């Protein structure tokens, strides 16, 4: 089992973060097939030359729960239909930063596919692919959260949590 922990800073207050991140999975994706999620990475992020992208569709499951400090955490699990892509179990959580910003963290575990061959591949390249995939997902969520928060500030229609 391999561990993964990646983060990205987001321009919204901590008390908005999980609410807007959860909206990424619902509002942002409302025109896409429910439960199916495309994970896309730029392979140059892991050292391949050029601008080649890899995409895998996975079955995404998520639930929201409270952590020990009573903050919302999104539990994520994705299961691929592709035996070359690992299953992932983890959390999407937030941290309060100075200046009214937040940090969004994706952390969890995955099992390298293909048994012993997969373990060797994971040690050589797979961990970098997993980190690049997590970072690509975090960048996409950040882009949505930043825009969603700006919309919430500019309108009275947005229903966002209050601190």
Residue (of 146, 138, 98, 142) closest to 7 by Cα position: 138
DSSP secondary structure, 61-84, as one string: EEEEEE-TTS-EEEEEEEEESSTT
What is the reported pLDDT for 107? 97
Instruction: Output the pLDDT for position 134.
Output: 92
* Cα Rg, the chain, nearest whole Å: 16
Contact between residue 38 and residue 56 where contact means Cβ atoms under 8 Å apart: yes
Single pTM value for the model = 0.85
pLDDT one-digit tens code per residue, 64-87: 999 999 889 999 999 888 777 888
Band the pLDDT of 57: cuts 50, 70, 90: confident
Class for the domain spanning 2-153 = alpha beta
Q: How confident is the model at residue 53 (pLDDT cuts 50, 70, 90)?
A: confident
Spell out the domain ranges in the chain: 2-153
């Amino acid at each position: 089992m391999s561990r993964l922990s990646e983060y990205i800073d987001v321009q919204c207050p901590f008390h908005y973060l999980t609410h807007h991140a959860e909206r990424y999975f619902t509002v942002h994706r409302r025109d896409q097939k429910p439960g199916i999620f495309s994970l896309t990475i730029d392979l140059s992020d892991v050292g391949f030359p050029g601008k080649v992208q890899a995409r895998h569709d996975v079955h995404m499951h998520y639930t929201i729960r409270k952590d020990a400090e009573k903050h919302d955490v999104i539990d994520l699990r994705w299961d691929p239909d592709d035996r070359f892509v690992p299953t992932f179990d983890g959390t999407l959580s937030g941290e309060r930063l100075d200046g009214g910003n937040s940090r969004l963290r994706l952390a969890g575990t995955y099992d390298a596919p293909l048994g012993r061959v997969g373990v060797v591949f994971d040690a050589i390249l797979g961990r970098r692919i997993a980190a690049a995939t997590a970072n690509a997902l975090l960048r996409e969520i950040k882009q949505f959260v930043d825009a969603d928060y700006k919309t919430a500030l500019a309108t009275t229609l947005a229903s966002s949590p209050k601190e």
